[in-house]
Amino acid sequence: MLVNAKDMLQKARDGKYAVGQFNINNLEWTKAILLTAQELNSPVILGVSEGAGKYMAGFKTVADMVNAMIEELKITVPVATHLDHGSYEGCYKCIEAGFSSIMFDGSHYPIEENVEKTKELVKVCAEKGLSLEAEVGSIGGEEDGVVGMGECADPDECKAIADLGVDMLAAGIGNIHGKYPANWPGLSFETLAAVKEKTGDMPLVLHGGTGIPEDMIKKAISLGVAKINVNTECQLAFAEATRKYIEAGKDLEGKGFDPRKLLAPGTEAIKETVKTKMELFGSVGKA
Ligand SMILES: [Zn+2]
């Protein structure tokens, strides 16, 4: 069932678990994530970056594919289609395309401009029934060519954005997109606690969920994180399983070259990854 992310995140915050956002890249990704959510009776957020939207022939293609899949696969758990790190223009495109949730990444604007644009989107999303995520303090690593250094957000700026009426807030707490370097100092729980203190009930979002140790994930959830983004981990799992299939020469046996066979091990690997994450985040059985 397509819904916005507001209710599912408020429930997660109150129940001290987190809903996973799993980014999609194609049909196999989408199907694997939806089927796993249904099997585990877990709410789920499908993340779509601007780059992935372009790759999949536009946001409308994505929204229509997800909606059709929810119907055809009889997915009854709550599902949100969510723009990940949206530009100002990208947000409007997704609202029009039928997404149920968007993230406006205004972290690269001066705080005044981030506030202005976020305020406007709060109004539009409320009118159209979408949920809105905002970001304060750029999140490290690389996402669609935008490189940040893993800063920690200013808790007062977080409060300023939270008070505008967004539904969820991503604050940089030393987290990084992609693989974490060996010398990564870990999440700043001090920053997280300070942000939580200033923003009160606001469900907080942790980006860059790949490679954060389990105990840190659990501690972050206990401190108010209600949504965790996972992207790279599914990509690595898909690539590894596909490589094994090819290296074993399976594509050369019989009809092993059929894409429905060739892409099957990778698809199964995504399912496994999503399952592991949902169990870790505590969202299993919470639909
Ligand atoms: Zn992110």
Place of tokens 């700043």: 188
Supply the pLDDT for residue 87: 95
144 CB-near residues (< 8 Å, 6+ apart): 49, 50, 51, 85
User: Is residue 191 domain-resident?
Assistant: yes
CATH number, domain with residue 103: 3.20.20.70
Report the pLDDT value the prediction gives residue 211, as an integer from 0 to 100: 83
Structure confidence at residue 181 (pLDDT): 79
Let me know if residue 97 belongs to a domain: yes
Residue identified by tokens 């990778």 is 266
Q: How far apart are CA 208 and CA 42, in angstroms?
A: 21
Instruction: Please tell me the predicted confidence (pLDDT) of residue 246.
Output: 98
Q: Report the C-alpha gap between 132 and 170 in whole angstroms.
A: 11
Instruction: Answer yes or no: is 161 within a domain.
Output: yes
Q: What is the 3-state secondary structure (H, E, C) of 56-97?
A: CCCHHHHHHHHHHHHHHCCCCCCEEEEEEEECHHHHHHHHHH
Catalytic residue (one of 7, 14, 64, 84): 84
What pLDDT score was predicted for residue 51?
A: 97
Residue bearing tokens 């303090």: 137
Q: How far, in Å, is the centroid of ligand 1 from the Cα of 275?
A: 20
Domain that holds residue 109: 3-231
Identify the pLDDT of residue 106: 86
In a domain, 35, yes or no: yes
Expressed in angstroms and rounded, the spacing between residue 65 Cα and the centre of ligand 1 is: 23
Whether 275 is covered by a domain: the verdict is no
Instruction: Please give the annotated binding residues, written as ranges.
Output: 85, 105, 135, 177-178, 207-210, 229-232
Query: Which residue ranges make up the annotated binding site for Zn(2+)?
Result: 85, 105, 135, 177, 207
Asked if residue 248 is part of any domain, the answer here is no
Query: Does 265 reside within a domain?
Result: no
d(CA 131, CA 139): 21
Q: What is the pLDDT along the chain (287 residues), one digit of tens a residue?
A: 999 999 999 999 999 999 999 999 999 999 999 999 999 999 999 999 999 999 999 999 999 999 999 999 999 999 999 999 999 999 999 999 999 999 999 878 888 898 999 999 999 999 999 999 998 877 766 655 555 556 789 999 999 999 999 999 999 998 988 878 788 888 999 999 999 999 999 999 999 888 899 999 999 999 999 999 999 999 999 999 999 999 999 999 999 999 999 999 999 999 999 999 999 999 999 99
Bridge partners of 44, per DSSP, are: 79
- Token code pair at residue 130: 């979408």
Rama region for 178: left / alpha / beta (φ>0; ψ in -120 to 50; rest): left
Residue 107, amino acid: S
Structurally, how many domains does the chain consist of?
1
Does residue 84 carry a catalytic annotation?
yes
- Rounded distance from Cα 84 to ligand 1 centre (Å): 7
Query: Does residue 281 belong to any structural domain of this protein?
Result: no
Is 66 in contact with 2 (CB distance < 8 Å)? Answer: yes
Q: Residue 191: helix, strand or coil by DSSP?
A: helix
Give distance in angstroms: CA of 168 to centre of ligand 1.
13
